[in-house]
């Protein structure tokens, strides 16, 4: 794995530092490239800078343009997304279930996330050698462990059989071209990392956007929920662990749902209340770079010069929402009209359901420089995780109903009640599909459940054999994405996923 290993050696400490509004220490790092690793880790500020660098690679898949964007990979794989961007071939390969290992979206995830893991490994190895405040060092190590777990959690779910590298690598390392690990071993490391982070003294919340205890426990709940399902099938023990961790977040009273869906794309609401953990952006410094992807192709509604029509929701999906569901109404989660960029009194019909929940109105209408963050963990997800996991363990309880009904109440839907365990299970799944759509969550749910939502019948089909509303049928191979061609070519120890 030469492409990964060489990046382990040339770690850019702080070069891509985390952009956090109002926190100059993350935005104005000195160029660290004059240092070697041996020279660099000598001061407390080096420890901070090294951890800042771990965050940076989270942003890479979100970079969007006329070639599409890697973040769309797991969205088109659900069958719920459409596109008008004809030149973004990678989108069509996934959307039409003709994907190959040459797809650049997968390569972006693989390479960027392994760079993040390399930075985390370096921080974890070197920070203990620095003389500094012990409590701060422990917190920084907690952040590093969380971020390594987060990168591995996405990679293991996308690619299934991946190398597990936990130490810095150089040209003499045995892990220069590592073999693939047993998936269970990867999940063991993820849990260990998150447990370490949980005990590192992090605060429950962090409005600057750094890892918080709330983020750690929320991610741990999601990891346990995934381990309960496929492919590990740990079952009730891990549903119980997922419910326990989600309940700790709920009982902390540190988080709450926003009153309005408008707050989901309001830059003033970054990193607070419902937004437990986000990928950080800052206008004029590192602006949110997916705005061009969620506006229609050349309809002249935006101050952005690139209007790509990169991704929007299929009409069949939007029409499958319950009658009266606020989320499906205009400019809640989706939008079908907007004003013309040269005359804001002129309404433009867009011809499709574009994604409003990620839409920065200031950037689109005036600045073309977005201040929005990308959501990673919302409190809504925690509530739905708790509802699902607790129902699997104890069946319908007042607490499970309360969690899922909080989501439905905001959507102006009637409370669920009087359901069997099986009925409540599928009702919660539907809320996950409707609430968390286009946030890189739905395909992961499909794989762990081996289920796919049929927008026509409004029931759940088996994953393998499920037919998208526009025709293609999921096969077993689509349970994983292919390992990028370049990685397999450069590392003969890697075995390609079945069917690719």
pLDDT in tens, 473-495: 999 999 999 999 999 999 999 99
Other C-beta atoms closer than 10 Å to the C-beta of 305 total: 7
Give the single-character DSSP code of 282: B
**pLDDT above 90 as % of the chain:** 90
How much is the pLDDT for 265?
98
Spatial contact of 209 and 372, defined as CB atoms under 8 Å apart: no
- Verdict on whether the full-model pTM lies above 0.75: yes
For the cut 60, the answer to whether the pLDDT of residue 422 exceeds it is yes
Backbone angles phi, psi at 440, to 5 degrees: 60, 45
How much is the pLDDT for 26?
46
- Residue 436 falls inside a structural domain: no
Residues with Cβ < 8 Å from 353, sequence gap 6 or more?
Answer: 312, 313, 314, 315, 317, 318, 334, 335, 336
* Domain extent at residue 27: 1-79+87-193+464-500
d(CA 280, CA 23): 11
- Among 58, 17, 246, 51, smallest CA distance to 142 is for 51
Question: Residue 481 sits in a domain of what CATH number?
Answer: 1.25.40.390
Two tokens, residue 208: 């600057």
d(CA 62, CA 281): 11
How much is the pLDDT for 9?
32
For the cut 80, the answer to whether the pLDDT of residue 118 exceeds it is yes
The CA–CA distances, whole Å, from 498 to 98, 161, 485 equal 14, 11, 14
d(CA 152, CA 175): 17
Query: Domain count of the chain?
Result: 1
What digits encode the pLDDT tens for the residues 442-477? 999 999 999 999 999 999 999 999 999 999 999 999
For the cut 90, the answer to whether the pLDDT of residue 40 exceeds it is no
- Residue 135 falls inside a structural domain: yes
How much is the pLDDT for 24?
40
d(CA 496, CA 191): 26
For the cut 90, the answer to whether the pLDDT of residue 262 exceeds it is yes
pLDDT band at residue 412 using 50, 70 and 90 as cut-offs: very high
Mean pLDDT of the 56-64 span:
98
pLDDT band at residue 10 using 50, 70 and 90 as cut-offs: very low
37-48: string of b/e by CB count within 10 Å (b at 16+)? beebbeeeebbb
The angle that helices 236-251 and 213-228 make with each other, rounded to 10 degrees, is 160
What digits encode the pLDDT tens for the residues 367-385? 999 999 999 999 999 999 9
**pLDDT above 70 as % of the chain:** 93
Mean pLDDT of the 106-127 span:
98
The overall average pLDDT reported for the chain is 93
For the cut 80, the answer to whether the pLDDT of residue 1 exceeds it is no
Mean pLDDT of the 389-395 span:
98
d(CA 16, CA 18): 7
Mean pLDDT of the 419-440 span:
98
- Residue 262 falls inside a structural domain: no
Spatial contact of 475 and 482, defined as CB atoms under 8 Å apart: no
What digits encode the pLDDT tens for the residues 273-322? 999 999 999 999 999 999 999 999 999 999 999 999 999 999 999 999 99
How much is the pLDDT for 35?
61
What digits encode the pLDDT tens for the residues 62-111? 999 999 999 999 999 999 999 999 999 999 999 999 999 999 999 999 99
How much is the pLDDT for 452?
98
For the cut 50, the answer to whether the pLDDT of residue 170 exceeds it is yes
Residues with Cβ < 8 Å from 45, sequence gap 6 or more?
Answer: none
- Among 106, 98, 75, 72, smallest CA distance to 473 is for 98
Say if strands 343-355 and 374-378 run parallel, antiparallel, or are unpaired.
Answer: unpaired
- Residue 202 falls inside a structural domain: no
How much is the pLDDT for 15?
32
Mean pLDDT of the 105-122 span:
98
Q: Which of 152-166, 170-184, 276-290 has the lowest mean pLDDT?
A: 170-184
17-36: string of b/e by CB count within 10 Å (b at 16+)? bbbbbebeebbebeebeebe
For residues 177 and 396, the model is more confident at 396
- Residue 476 falls inside a structural domain: yes
Reduced to 3 states (helix: H, G, I; strand: E, B; else coil), residue 257 is: coil
- Residue 315 falls inside a structural domain: no
Spatial contact of 500 and 101, defined as CB atoms under 8 Å apart: yes
How much is the pLDDT for 33?
52
How much is the pLDDT for 34?
57
- Residue 186 falls inside a structural domain: yes
Other C-beta atoms closer than 10 Å to the C-beta of 385 total: 27
Reduced to 3 states (helix: H, G, I; strand: E, B; else coil), residue 195 is: helix
- Residue 208 falls inside a structural domain: no
Spatial contact of 118 and 8, defined as CB atoms under 8 Å apart: yes
* Long-range pairs for 302-305: beta carbons < 8 A, 24 or more residues apart: 302/341, 302/364, 302/365, 302/368, 303/341, 303/363, 303/364, 303/365, 303/366, 303/367, 303/368, 304/363, 304/364, 304/368, 305/368
Spatial contact of 63 and 292, defined as CB atoms under 8 Å apart: no
- For the chain, give the longest Cα–Cα distance: 65
């Amino acid at each position: 794995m030469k492409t990964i290993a060489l990046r382990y050696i040339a770690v850019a400490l702080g070069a891509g530092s985390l952009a956090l509004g109002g926190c100059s220490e993350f935005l104005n790092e000195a160029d660290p490239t004059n240092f070697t690793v041996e020279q660099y880790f000598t001061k407390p500020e080096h420890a901070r800078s090294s951890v800042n660098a771990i965050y940076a690679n989270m942003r890479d898949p979100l970079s969007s343009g006329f070639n599409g964007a890697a973040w769309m990979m797991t969205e088109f794989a659900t069958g719920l997304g459409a596109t008008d961007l004809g030149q973004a071939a990678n989108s069509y390969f996934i959307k039409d279930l003709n994907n190959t290992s040459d797809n650049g979206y997968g390569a972006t995830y693989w390479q960027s996330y392994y760079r993040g893991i390399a930075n985390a490994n370096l921080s974890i190895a070197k920070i203990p050698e620095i003389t500094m405040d012990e409590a701060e060092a422990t917190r920084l190590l907690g952040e590093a462990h969380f971020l390594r777990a987060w990168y591995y959690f996405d990679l293991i779910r996308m690619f299934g059989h991946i190398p597990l590298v936990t130490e810095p690598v150089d040209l003499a390392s045995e892990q220069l071209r590592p073999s693939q690990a047993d998936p269970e071993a990867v999940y063991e490391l993820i849990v260990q990392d998150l447990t370490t982070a949980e005990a590192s003294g992090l605060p429950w919340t962090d409005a600057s956007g750094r890892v918080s205890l709330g983020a750690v426990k929320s991610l741990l709940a999601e990891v346990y929920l995934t381990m309960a399902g496929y492919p590990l099938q740990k079952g009730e023990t891990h549903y119980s662990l997922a419910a326990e961790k989600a309940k700790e977040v709920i009982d902390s009273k540190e988080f709450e749902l926003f009153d309005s869906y408008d707050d989901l794309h309001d830059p003033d609401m970054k990193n607070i209340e419902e937004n437990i953990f986000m990928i950080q952006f800052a206008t004029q410094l590192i602006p949110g770079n997916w705005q061009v992807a969620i506006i229609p192709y050349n309809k002249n509604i935006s101050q952005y010069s690139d209007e790509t029509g990169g991704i929007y929701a299929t009409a069949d999906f939007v029409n499958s929402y319950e009658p009266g569901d606020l989320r499906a109404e205009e400019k809640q989660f989706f939008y079908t009209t907007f004003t013309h960029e040269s005359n804001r009194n002129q309404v433009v019909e867009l011809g499709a359901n574009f994604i409003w929940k990620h839409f920065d109105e200031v950037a689109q209408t005036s600045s073309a420089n977005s201040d929005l963050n990308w959501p990673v963990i919302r409190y809504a997800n925690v509530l739905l995780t708790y509802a699902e996991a607790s129902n699997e363990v104890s069946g319908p309880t007042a607490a499970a109903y309360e969690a899922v009904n909080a989501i439905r109440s905001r959507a102006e839907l009637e409370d669920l009640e009087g359901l069997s365990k099986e009925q409540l299970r599928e009702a919660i799944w539907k809320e996950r599909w409707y609430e968390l759509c286009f946030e890189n969550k739905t395909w992961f749910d499909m794989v762990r459940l081996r289920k796919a939502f049929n927008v026509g019948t409004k029931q759940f089909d088996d994953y393998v054999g499920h037919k998208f509303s526009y025709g293609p049928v999921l096969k077993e191979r689509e349970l994983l994405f292919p390992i990028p061609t370049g990685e397999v070519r450069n590392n003969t120890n890697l075995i390609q996923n079945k069917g690719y």
